[in-house]
């Protein structure tokens, strides 16, 4: 019974997080269309902003479907670049994929976990900064973050090491991404681990994704 409750709680939090993530964009869209309706004909800036919000909403849905949905396929580097444009806070985050071979293709398991790891990296850069990916599907991929307040969520290392800790981390929609990423990797038979941080630096440790 406990595991059924945990699974249902996970579904609830994913739904809540999805609604939370998209509500800001839909709110902007509705507000801009409302302003456009009040502008003299032809509408100007408000309609342009509404169009931009609609495009961002569509891109975010595509990203979350690829990361959280069950029917994804292989993802190549070019697709990662496109999907990364829809990351929350993208305007203040640099995404560096130069360390991944241009012809690299990730299978559906690794691609999906990597997208979730990128969502977590964006969340872990609240004041902006840089995330960088390097490696290849065969040798493993490392993800690093750097910025003024860059930090992986508290307890993330424990979630990667212990499934029970990941389930226990499902406490709110706001903090969903870390336990979700850990549980998804475990479910798909992949391994996520925190590497040792460089000595005498405040840079957060890199996260390694490999085949387990």
- For 100-110, the pLDDT digits (tens) are 999 999 999 99
| Long-range pairs, 1-7, Cβ under 8 A, ≥24 | 6/167, 6/170
Q: How many other CB atoms are there within 10 angstroms of residue 206's CB atom?
A: 20
- Only one residue has tokens 């212990």, namely 162
For 205, the token pair is 């440790």
Q: How far apart are CA 200 and CA 69, in angstroms?
A: 40
* Residues 3-23 pLDDT 10s: 667 887 788 888 888 777 777
Supply the DSSP string of 48-71, one letter for each residue: HHHHHHHHHHHHHHHHHHHHHSS-
Contact (CB, 8 A) for 206 and 142: yes
Q: What is the pTM of this model?
A: 0.86
Higher-confidence position of 27 and 96 = 96
pLDDT band at 115 (very low <50, low <70, confident <90, very high): very high
Domains annotated on the chain, with CATH: 2-210 (3.30.565.10)
Considering only CA atoms, which of 111, 182, 189, 113 is closest in space to residue 152?
182
pLDDT band at 34 (very low <50, low <70, confident <90, very high): low
45-54, 137-146, 162-171, 197-206: lowest mean pLDDT where? 45-54
20: DSSP letter: H
* Residues 36-87 pLDDT 10s: 656 665 556 666 676 777 778 778 888 888 898 877 789 999 999 999 999 9
């Amino acid at each position: 019974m406990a595991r059924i409750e945990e699974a249902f709680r996970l579904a609830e939090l994913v739904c809540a997080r999805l609604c939370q993530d998209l509500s800001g964009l839909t709110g902007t869209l509705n507000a801009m269309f409302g302003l456009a309706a009040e502008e003299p004909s032809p509408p100007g800036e408000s309609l342009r902003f509404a169009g931009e919000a609609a495009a961002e909403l569509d891109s975010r849905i595509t990203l979350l479907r690829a990361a959280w949905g069950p029917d994804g396929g292989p993802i190549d580097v070019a697709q990662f670049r496109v999907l990364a444009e829809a990351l929350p806070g993208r305007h203040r985050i640099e995404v560096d994929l130069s360390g991944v071979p241009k012809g690299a293709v990730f299978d559906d398991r690794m691609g999906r976990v990597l997208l979730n790891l990128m969502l977590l990296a964006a969340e872990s850069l609240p004041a902006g900064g840089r995330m960088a990916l390097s490696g290849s599907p065969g040798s493993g991929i490392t993800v690093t973050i750097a910025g003024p307040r860059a930090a992986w969520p508290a307890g993330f290392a424990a979630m990667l090491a212990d499934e029970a800790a990941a389930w226990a981390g499902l406490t709110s929609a706001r903090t969903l991404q870390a336990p979700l990423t850990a549980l998804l990797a475990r479910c798909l038979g992949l391994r996520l681990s925190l590497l040792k941080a460089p000595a005498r630096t405040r840079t957060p440790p890199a996260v390694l994704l490999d085949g387990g």
